[in-house]
Structure formats: structure tokens, C-alpha cells
């Protein structure tokens, strides 16, 4: 379990009280927040700014959140949630006191109330006023933190990937069902209007039957060097940062961003950025689990501590005669089809291209553009923290609508974990150096005991996630 026994008892003993408070608060929110449904898309009262709406809405009418992990992406999310007229950041949770203080100051400049500095996110789960845990911590914390939030009767906004390994994803789905919680996956492009329109056109048959989706991500990441064992900085709680992961000595090239490239904490570029585009590909092709997965690549550019591939191609074959490919180049940022990130659907009568922004093009089989839809504001897909504040607001409001009135989530955790699993299978194939046969009904690996070692992971004793 991820909480000490005393903390578990406290959570358990207060469960019924929390449930009553949560149910009454949730009902109050549903009845009170109709005013703010479309703020970030123009608003229902055009004469009012977002700040004006903040003044109209009372404190008890706002959905209150705790944000876990605020050094980069979490800071952007905290500011976005704080800027929503119908929400308030109640807790800032980070093991780095410098990152926490920066976020608190930034959020305080946006919203009226100063958020609480709650280093250990588990303490925020005890707050009966808190509605949503926003998880933007490193990948090894994603599913374990979300599971704890579900058990504490909180809803979750979960950044991608959904889990560090397939077994954690299975536990997360069990927790969602058992505790009846809402989890919005951070696949924000599912809420971007032009992207959704492109998928709708695809499903309507504008290019005939689509049978292949090519996805990619490129960047020019620098080497991370050979880490030196050094003393943990005083402003960092490294023990809590590692959490469920087996313990390793602190080195000077891990925190804050480079943990992505170590298997103990991260999942490589495939899940860091590949998840987004593979999710769109799966959505467009209307597929779930593949029948065969293969991957090739490695750490090709630099010689350093980087463990995951910097160059990788994943192939996912499906029984309905369709294919998804993902190409990741972390150390050569040459664009593909004019974009650093994107997806192209190839069909019987043409192709649809969705680039890194909220744009798409339809082409016929003679490469002629027959339709082009552009978003008139900049989107920077290589921005590590906040590619587009405005479009992400739509995704946030979709989650609020799900809480208030049962609106379907744009990126529910069931689909989010399925997309996560696809790239996890790619990484397993990569690490084994073998093609995987997959049960297309369950997503499980067939006839390969060696691959099962990667289905789950080892945990630090006492920190195992339990539903």
C-alpha cells in the first residue's frame, strides 16, 4: 500500500463522513455552475471576462483541485485550473519546495485565494473540500497516485501516460470502477475542436476506409551526460519523489526532466509524446487492441546515462487489416510532413493529416489538398509545459461537465489506458528485441513468458499500489 498504516486507517475511518460531504458538495456544484459552461469558448455573458465570472461565482460553487507535481507541466495545469472561472486550486503538492513556492506565487496572481503548500499529496486527499487531484508528477507516480485519489473519493485529471506499466493500468481501471470515480486522461487533443472535426470526417468516410495511421514526434534533445552521486538538495524530498519505485542513489542528471529516460521512473519518448498521437490514430481507425506488435530502435545519438530509445519505430497491426506506426526521434528534430508531431490517416480514397496544432488537411490520391482547416492561434507542440492554454481549457471544462451533469468524458481512462497500453507493448517489444503476439480481445501478450517480466514492475516494499 502507498500510505503508512496509520494514514490508511485515517482514510478508512473518515470514509463515510467524506462520502456524505462529497455527495452533498457534488450535488451543490451540479446545481450551481451552469453559469460557467462555455467561459473559455466565448462565454455565456460576452460582456464579462473570466475574472468577472470569478467574482460572480462563490467559493463554494467552484470545483476545487490539488495539483501534484508542479515543476513543468503541472505548473501550466495549475495556472489553467486557477484561471477557470468555476474552479480553484486549493493545494499545491510538490516534493521540491522551490517548485512549490513558484507555483503558489503564480497561482495566487491568478486566483483570489492563495493555495496551500501541501508537500505530500496524500495529505490533500484528506481535505473534504477538495474535488479533483491533478496528477502531473513523474510517470511512476501516475497510476499509484490516481488509485489513492479514487480510494479517497476524489476524481482525477491524469496526465499521460495513464500508467508506468500494463499491470498498473489494470489496477487503475479496477479502482475507477470500484470507487465510481471520474478520471479524465490528459489526451487533450480529444477536446480540440478541429481535431475532433477531422476524426468525424474520417469516420464519415471522406477518404474511404482508413487502413493505416502514421504517427510521429521529433525533437532535438541534448545529452544528459554521466550522472554523479551527490547529496540530495535540501529543497527536495527525494524519498517521497521516488515513492513506489525501487530506491536508487540520487544523481545530478535525473531531476527534474531527465527521469523520462530512465526505466525505473520514466517510459521514454514513446509514452512521453507517442501516447498522444497513437491515441488519435486508435480513435481514427476505431481499433482497440492489436494482434501483433514490433519495435526497433535504441539510444543511437549520444553515449550517456539515457536508457530508453532516442530513436524508435513501433508497428501495431490489427485484425481488421489496419496498421498504426509511431516514429520517435528525440535527437533529430527534422519535421515530417512539415510538422514536428502529427498523424496521417491513409485510406482507400485519400488521406487526412492532423499536425501538432488544431489543424487538418484532406488530400486526394493525387496529393491534391481538397480541404484545409486551420486554427488561427499558435500551438507549440514542442513546448514542454504548455503547448496551448486555451485549447486545454476545453478539456478541463469537459471534465467539469462530466462531474456536474454526467457529460461523457472526451478522454476517459478506459480509452486512455488502452492507448497507453499500445505504446507500452511497443516498449516491451523493443526491450526484448522480439515481435509480440497479442490477444486482440484483451491486449495481453500471448505465449511469451519472458515478456511478462515487463507487464508489471518491482516496487519499493510498503509502497505497492493496492485497489
Give the chain's mean pLDDT.
Answer: 89
Q: What is the pLDDT of residue 17?
A: 45
Tell me the pLDDT band of 381, cut-offs 50, 70 and 90: low
Q: What is the pLDDT of residue 383?
A: 63
Mean pLDDT across the stretch 70-79? Answer: 94
Q: Where are the domains of the chain?
A: 5-190, 192-383+414-448
Q: CA distances (Å), 99 to each of 4, 159, 235, 417, 456, in order? A: 25, 18, 9, 29, 31
Q: What is the pLDDT of residue 397?
A: 96
Q: What is the DSSP string of 316-357?
A: EEETTTEEEEEEEESB----BTTBSEEEEEEETTEEEEE-SS
Q: What is the pLDDT of residue 385?
A: 53
Contacts (Cβ under 8 Å, ≥6 apart) of 114: 104, 107, 108
Contact 206, 350 (CB under 8 A): yes
Q: Which of 44-48, 189-193, 207-211, 269-273 has the lowest mean pLDDT?
A: 44-48
Q: What is the pLDDT of residue 60?
A: 60
- pLDDT tens digits, residue range 294-312? 999 999 999 999 999 999 9
CA triple 49-159-332, angle to 5 deg:
105
Q: What is the pLDDT of residue 58?
A: 53
CATH class, 5-190 region: alpha beta
Q: Is the predicted pLDDT of residue 376 greater than 50, yes or no?
A: yes
Handedness of CA 317, 445, 260, 81 (dihedral sign): positive
Q: With pLDDT > 70 as the criterion, what percentage of the chain qualifies?
A: 85
Range list of H helices, 236-318: 238-242, 268-272, 274-285
Q: Is the predicted pLDDT of residue 120 greater than 70, yes or no?
A: yes
Q: Is residue 371 within a helix (H) or strand (E), and if so which, with residue range?
A: strand 369-373
Q: Return the bridge partners of 184, or none.
A: 157, 412
Cis ω before 161 (30° cut-off from 0): yes
Q: Is the predicted pLDDT of residue 404 greater than 70, yes or no?
A: yes
Q: What is the pLDDT of residue 388?
A: 74
How far is 133 from 124, CA to CA, in rounded Å? 9
Q: What is the DSSP string of 34-87?
A: GGGTTGGGT-SSTT--HHHHHHHS-GGGSEEEEEE--SSHHHHHHHHHHHSTTE
Q: What is the DSSP string of 391-429?
A: HHHHHHHHHHHHHHH-PPPTTBHHHHHHHHHHHHHHHHH
Which fold would CATH assign to domain 192-383+414-448?
A: Dihydrodipicolinate Reductase; domain 2 (3.30.360)
- pLDDT tens digits, residue range 88-107? 999 999 999 999 999 999 99
Amino acid at each position: 500500500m502507498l500510505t503508512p498504516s496509520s494514514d490508511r486507517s485515517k482514510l478508512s475511518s473518515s470514509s463515510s463522513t467524506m462520502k456524505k460531504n462529497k455527495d452533498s458538495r457534488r450535488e451543490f456544484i451540479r446545481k450551481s455552475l451552469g453559469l460557467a459552461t462555455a467561459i473559455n469558448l466565448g462565454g455565456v455573458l460576452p460582456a464579462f471576462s473570466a475574472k468577472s465570472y470569478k467574482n460572480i461565482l462563490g467559493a463554494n460553487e467552484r470545483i476545487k483541485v490539488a495539483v501534484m507535481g508542479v515543476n513543468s507541466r503541472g505548473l501550466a495545469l495549475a495556472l489553467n485550473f486557477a484561471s477557470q472561472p468555476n474552479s480553484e486550486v486549493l493545494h499545491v503538492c510538490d516534493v521540491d519546495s522551490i517548485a512549490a513556492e513558484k507555483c503558489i506565487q503564480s497561482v495566487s496572481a491568478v486566483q483570489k485565494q492563495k493555495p496551500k503548500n501541501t508537500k505530500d499529496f496524500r495529505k490533500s486527499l484528506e481535505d473534504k473540500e477538495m474535488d479533483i487531484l491533478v496528477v502531473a508528477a513523474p510517470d511512476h507516480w501516475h497510476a499509484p497516485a490516481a488509485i489513492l485519489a479514487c480510494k479517497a473519493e476524489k476524481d482525477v485529471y491524469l496526465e499521460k501516460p495513464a500508467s508506468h506499466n500494463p499491470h498498473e493500468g489494470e489496477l487503475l481501471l479496477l479502482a475507477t470502477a470500484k470507487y465510481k470515480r471520474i478520471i479524465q486522461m490528459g489526451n487533450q487533443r480529444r477536446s480540440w475542436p478541429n481535431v475532433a472535426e477531422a476524426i468525424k470526417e474520417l469516420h464519415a468516410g471522406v477518404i474511404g476506409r482508413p487502413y493505416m495511421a502514421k504517427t510521429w514526434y521529433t525533437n532535438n534533445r541534448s545529452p544528459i551526460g554521466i550522472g554523479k552521486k551527490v547529496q540530495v538538495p535540501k529543497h527536495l524530498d527525494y524519498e517521497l519523489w521516488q515513492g513506489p519505485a525501487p530506491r536508487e542513489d540520487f544523481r545530478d542528471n535525473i531531476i527534474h526532466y531527465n527521469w523520462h529516460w530512465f526505466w525505473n521512473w520514466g517510459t521514454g519518448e514513446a509514452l512521453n509524446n507517442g501516447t498522444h498521437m497513437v491515441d488519435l490514430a486508435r480513435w481514427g481507425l476505431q481499433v482497440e487492441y492489436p494482434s501483433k506488435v514490433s519495435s526497433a530502435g535504441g539510444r543511437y545519438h549520444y553515449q550517456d546515462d539515457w536508457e530508453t530509445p532516442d530513436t524508435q519505430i513501433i508497428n501495431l497491426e490489427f485484425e481488421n487489416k489496419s496498421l498504426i506506426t509511431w516514429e520517435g526521434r528525440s535527437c533529430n528534430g527534422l519535421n515530417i510532413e512539415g510538422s514536428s508531431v502529427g498523424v496521417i490517416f491513409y485510406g482507400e480514397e485519400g488521406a487526412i493529416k492532423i499536425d501538432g496544432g488544431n489543424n487538418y488537411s484532406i488530400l486526394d490520391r493525387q496529393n491534391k489538398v481538397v480541404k484545409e482547416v486551420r486554427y488561427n492561434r499558435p500551438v507549440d507542440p514542442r513546448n514542454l509545459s504548455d503547448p496551448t492554454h486555451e485549447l486545454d481549457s476545453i478539456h478541463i471544462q469537459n471534465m467539469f461537465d462530466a462531474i456536474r451533469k454526467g457529460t461523457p468524458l472526451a478522454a476517459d481512462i478506459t480509452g486512455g489506458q488502452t492507448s497507453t497500453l499500445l505504446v507500452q507493448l511497443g516498449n516491451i517489444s523493443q526491450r526484448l528485441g522480439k515481435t509480440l503476439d497479442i490477444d486482440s480481445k484483451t491486449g495481453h501478450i500471448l505465449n511469451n513468458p519472458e515478456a511478462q517480466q515487463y507487464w508489471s514492475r518491482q516496487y519499493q516494499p510498503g509502497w505497492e499500489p493496492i485497489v
